[in-house]
Amino acid sequence: MAKDVVEIEADKRRPIRFLVRLGILAGLVYGVGRFLMRKKDEYAGLTESQARDKIVEKMSPRIGDDTAKEIADQVIPKLKDKGLIKEDPMEAAADDIVTAADEAVDAMEKGVADAADKVADAVDSAIKD
């Protein structure tokens, strides 16, 4: 009969152990989630060059400057795809300038071709007359 009492006490302790372990696990998951959210917020809204500099600055003392730059080159596109960092304004402006220059060159080439056709037509009509 004493054995039955011991088994009952052991059975009562198991749910409490389970709940304590579950609480510790939930606390760990919550802590890791909060840590990751703070890190995400740390990089949110930075430009690409600012984020790259921040990553290299934090990692270069541990792993070296070259390796930190390689890692930053891999991380930055992923952060950019997720929308956490924004494109550098100078790069966006440079892209706009290149597009405008290409359009201007195309317009000038078309204008030169049209002018050459008109000159050729004028020369042909002058020779015929």
Write out the two tokens for 112: 């030169």
Write out the two tokens for 76: 């930055």
3-class state of residue 47 by DSSP = strand
Gap between the Cα atoms of 102 and 88, Å rounded: 21
| Residue 44 pLDDT | 80
Mean pLDDT of all residues belonging to the chain: 81
* Phi/psi of residue 86, nearest 5 degrees: -110, 160
Write out the two tokens for 42: 């740390």
pLDDT, tens digit (0-9, with 9 covering 90-100), for 65-98: 888 889 888 888 888 888 778 777 676 677 778 8
Could you tell me where the DSSP H helices lie in 1-129?
A: 2-43, 48-63, 65-81, 89-128
pLDDT, tens digit (0-9, with 9 covering 90-100), for 96-127: 788 888 888 888 888 888 888 888 888 888 88
| Residue 3 pLDDT | 55
